[in-house]
Every structure is written in C-alpha cells, then in structure tokens.
C-alpha cells in the first residue's frame, strides 16, 4: 500500500526531528521540548552562564517531533503508519493534518497544565514525543472503523478497534491518576484523545457543538 502524502510527510518530520535531536543535543530539548510554565535553572554552561529552561509558545507543537529514543520513535511512527494512512484516505490531506495537529496541541496543553501544577510529584521535566497525536489517531480510528480488527503487540491479542480504544484509554487514565510508569505523559495521551473526540464531534455538528453546514459522514 502506498502511503498518502500527509502521513508520509509526518513520518519524515518525526525522523528528521529525531536526527536533529541527535546533533543538537540538550539545546533541542531546551528550546523545543514542552516545559512547564515559568523559568527554571537547568545548570551552568562551560562559560559560567546560568542555563534556564521554560515554556515557549511553539513548544505545544514542536515537542511532538522529539523523542526519548529510537524505540519511542519507532512505536509512534508505527502507530502513525497503521492508523494515519486510513484516516487520511477517508478525510483527505487537509482535514487529516488539521486533526493531527489539534490532537498534538491539545495533548500539549493538558500536559502543560498537569506539569505546571506539580500534581504528578515528578518535579520540573520536559515532555517530548508524538504520542498525544497518535492517541488522537487511535481514537479517530476506533470511532470511524469501530468493528475493524486490530492486533495488540504485547500480548498479541486481536480485538475490535472500539474495544482497543476503550481499553487503552482506561489504562492511560488509571496510570495518570495513580502515577504509574513515571516519565510517561499519560495525561498528554488522554488530552490527545479528548481533543480528537471534540474535533470529530465539531465536524459532525454533535453536542456540545451546534450543527453547522453539511454533516461529516464519518
């Protein structure tokens, strides 16, 4: 199957972002990862200058194109390949790209609030990775193709897409509330799903939004 153009471009963007991260090192994380609101001291440079980190507006999108390692990149890219392609072929380029970026930004905003509030007890830390956007794609796939069979990787159990979404959403909620797997942005994942759900409801003219124009079939 030939990948549609926007899915292909996003996969390239994730790969290029990861390569730039290898060359740019700490500077890429300082300026393009998602940091909590405020300014924080991160250390001292070789010249003796104080290094600070903190939130910058573009980080609500740029954080998605950095990753914590090749495995992190691989699984996000695999999910984008699996779920992004059929969604783009259903929605078209523009709507698919809009949806993905809304999920990324929505996930970033939720994570920004959670990390700034300190409720996780993890201190000041950056958030990176496209997982918020990917979870938004997962939700959309479950809504548009609820009876399509998908296969879990670990363990390899086949299930309907709708069930897959519900199970993963419940796991993320429990892990986020109880602070399991420190270092994973569970609330960002939930934020991507929430904003994805709202985006689809908006396109369909369903509550909490008023009907507007032609209804989206899927």
HEC string of 56-104? CCCHHHHHHHCCCCHHHHHHHHHHHHHHHHHHHHHHCHHHHHHHHHHHH
Whole-prediction pTM: 0.86
Lookup: tokens for 78: 């695999």
pLDDT tens profile 183-217 = 556 778 888 989 999 999 999 888 888 776 555 55
CB atoms within 10 A of CB 52: 13
Q: For residues 36 and 34, give the distance between their C-alpha atoms in angstroms, rounded to a whole number.
A: 7
**Is a pLDDT exceeding 90 seen at residue 177?**
no
Mean model confidence pLDDT for the chain: 83
Longest CA span, the chain = 61
Q: Which residues pair with 151 in a beta bridge?
A: 158
Peptide bond into 39 cis (omega under 30): no
Provide, rounded to the nearest whole percent, the portion of the chain with pLDDT above 90.
36
198: Cα within 13 Å, side-chain hemisphere: 11
Bin 204: left if φ > 0, else alpha if -120 < ψ < 50, else beta: alpha
Q: For residues 168 and 176, give the distance between their C-alpha atoms in angstroms, rounded to a whole number.
A: 12
**51-to-23, 24, 77, 107 alpha-carbon distances in Å:** 19, 16, 32, 27
**Is a pLDDT exceeding 50 seen at residue 180?**
no
- pLDDT, position 95: 96
Would you say the C-alpha torsion 200, 8, 154, 171 has a positive or negative sign?
negative
Q: If DSSP codes are grouped into helix, strand and coil, which group holds residue 3?
A: coil
**Which residues are CB-contacts of 26 (< 8 A; sequence separation ≥ 6)?**
none
The 8-class DSSP code of residue 215 comes to: P
**Is a pLDDT exceeding 70 seen at residue 161?**
yes
Can you say how many angstroms the Cα of residue 86 is from the centroid of all Cα atoms in its chain?
Answer: 18
- pLDDT, position 176: 47
| Highest averaged pLDDT of the listed ranges 101-105, 149-153, 181-185, 187-191 | 101-105
**Which residues are CB-contacts of 160 (< 8 A; sequence separation ≥ 6)?**
146, 147, 148, 149, 150
């Amino acid at each position: 199957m030939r990948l549609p153009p926007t899915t292909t471009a996003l996969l390239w963007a994730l790969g290029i972002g990861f390569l730039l991260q290898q060359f740019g090192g700490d500077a890429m994380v300082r300026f393009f990862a998602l940091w909590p609101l405020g300014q924080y001291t991160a250390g001292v440079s070789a010249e003796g200058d104080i290094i600070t980190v903190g939130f910058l507006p573009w980080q609500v999108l740029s954080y998605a194109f950095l990753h914590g390692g090749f495995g992190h990149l691989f699984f996000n890219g695999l999910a984008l390949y699996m779920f992004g392609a059929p969604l783009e072929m259903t929605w078209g380029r523009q709507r698919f790209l809009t949806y993905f970026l809304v999920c990324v930004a929505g996930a970033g905003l939720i994570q920004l609030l959670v990390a700034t509030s300190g409720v996780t007890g993890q201190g000041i830390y950056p958030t990176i990775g496209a997982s918020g956007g990917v979870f938004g794609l997962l939700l959309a796939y479950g809504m548009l193709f609820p009876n399509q069979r998908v296969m879990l990787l670990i363990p390899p159990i086949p299930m309907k897409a709708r069930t897959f979404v519900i199970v993963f959403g419940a796991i993320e909620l429990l892990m986020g509330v109880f602070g399991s797997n420190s270092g994973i942005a569970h609330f960002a994942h939930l934020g991507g799903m929430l904003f994805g759900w709202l985006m689809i409801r908006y396109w369909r003219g369903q509550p909490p939004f008023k009907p507007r124009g032609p209804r989206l079939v899927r």
